[in-house]
């Protein structure tokens, strides 16, 4: 089936998964407005695809006080947007066995980038999306590590787990609206995300970016609302955990609905 959305606002589009997905969308006829902090990369994206297919907005999503103004500007400039794709993320290691050396501000900023900023942006964009006459959607880039946390990555694991729970609840809340809630859940992918390990080692970790992009895009074209790519550990066990958890969530949601 064809991708049902015509103009995507893609937050976190200047590198890694975000840039690869932005390129793929444009190549398949979807207009993309890319959002990121690095203006030179946004300019490069627009030059590559042309202003008729691509545009760019420089914005730091961690500045929560400016999010309402940012969203108002986006809606005014691009009222035809029908899909918001939240992809930005950072990942670092932390060791809580030595609290004196732990950078708590850095830890909390990671939670903000990976989770809290998306909640604030979702709240700001939802009235616009709900009130549009045609189908709309919000896509979140989650992580398989939301299900099986990585001990050296407590901020990343916790933020992605929180995002996964938020997505499940948001999907339930919006089931009677025109807004579809989609989560793409990657394994480790060969991107800049792991540069804290050293560039050569970090960018060789995980699934090749092209392979991930192909699989994620196919899941979107198939109309799935939860796209699991790869696994942590044996795929049958990992997918069984996800399926049973989704079933348990749905059953609990039905119970709440009946009261």
The model's confidence at residue 202, banded by pLDDT at 50, 70 and 90, is: low
pLDDT at position 197: 67
pLDDT of residue 259: 77
Report which of 18, 4, 52 is spatially closest to residue 140, judged by C-alpha positions: 18
Out of 29-38, 46-55, 196-205, which region has the weakest mean confidence (pLDDT)?
A: 196-205
Calculate the average pLDDT of the chain: 94
> Which neighbouring-strand residues pair with 112?
none
* CATH architecture for segment(s) 7-257: 3-Layer(aba) Sandwich (3.40)
pLDDT digit string (tens) for 150-164? 999 999 999 999 999
More confident residue, 196 or 252: 252
Element (H or E) spanning 245, and its range?
A: helix 235-257
Give 114-183 as a DSSP string.
Answer: IIIHHHHHHHHHHHHHHTSSS-EEEEEE--GGGTS--TT-HHHHHHHHHHHHHHHHHHHHTTTSSEEEEE
- 200 pLDDT exceeds 90? no
Q: What percent of the chain has pLDDT over 70?
A: 95
Q: Angle at which helices 67-77 and 117-130 pack, to 10 degrees?
A: 40
Residue 215 CA neighbour count, 13 Å, CB half: 16
Domain ranges of the chain: 7-257
**What distances in angstroms separate CA 68 from CA 75, 84, 188, one per listed residue?**
11, 15, 32
From 48, 83, 26, select the one nearest 213 (Cα to Cα).
Answer: 26
């Amino acid at each position: 089936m064809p991708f049902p959305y015509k103009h995507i606002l893609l937050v976190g589009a200047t590198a890694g998964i975000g840039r690869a997905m932005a390129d793929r969308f444009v190549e398949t006829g979807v207009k993309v407005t890319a959002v990121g902090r690095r203006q030179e990369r946004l300019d490069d994206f627009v030059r590559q695809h042309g202003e008729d297919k691509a545009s760019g907005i420089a914005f730091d999503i961690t500045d929560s006080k400016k999010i309402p103004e940012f969203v108002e500007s986006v809606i005014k400039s691009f009222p035809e947007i029908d899909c918001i794709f939240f992809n930005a993320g950072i990942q670092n290691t932390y060791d809580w066995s030595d609290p004196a050396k732990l950078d708590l501000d850095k830890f909390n900023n990671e939670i903000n980038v990976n989770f809290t900023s998306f909640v604030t942006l979702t709240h700001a964009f939802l009235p616009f999306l709900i009130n549009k006459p045609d189908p709309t959607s919000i896509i979140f880039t989650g992580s398989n590590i939301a299900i099986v946390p990585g001990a050296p990555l407590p901020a990343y694991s916790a933020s992605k787990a929180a995002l996964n729970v938020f997505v499940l609840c948001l999907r339930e809340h919006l089931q009677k609206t025109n807004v579809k809630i989609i989560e793409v859940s990657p394994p480790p992918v060969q991107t800049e995300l792991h540069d804290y390990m050293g560039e050569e080692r970090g960018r060789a970790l995980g699934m090749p970016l092209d392979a991930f992009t192909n699989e994620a895009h196919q899941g979107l074209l198939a109309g799935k609302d939860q796209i699991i790519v790869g696994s942590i550990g044996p795929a049958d066990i990992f997918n069984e955990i996800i399926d049973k958890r989704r079933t348990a969530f749905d059953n609990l949601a039905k119970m709440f609905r009946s009261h």
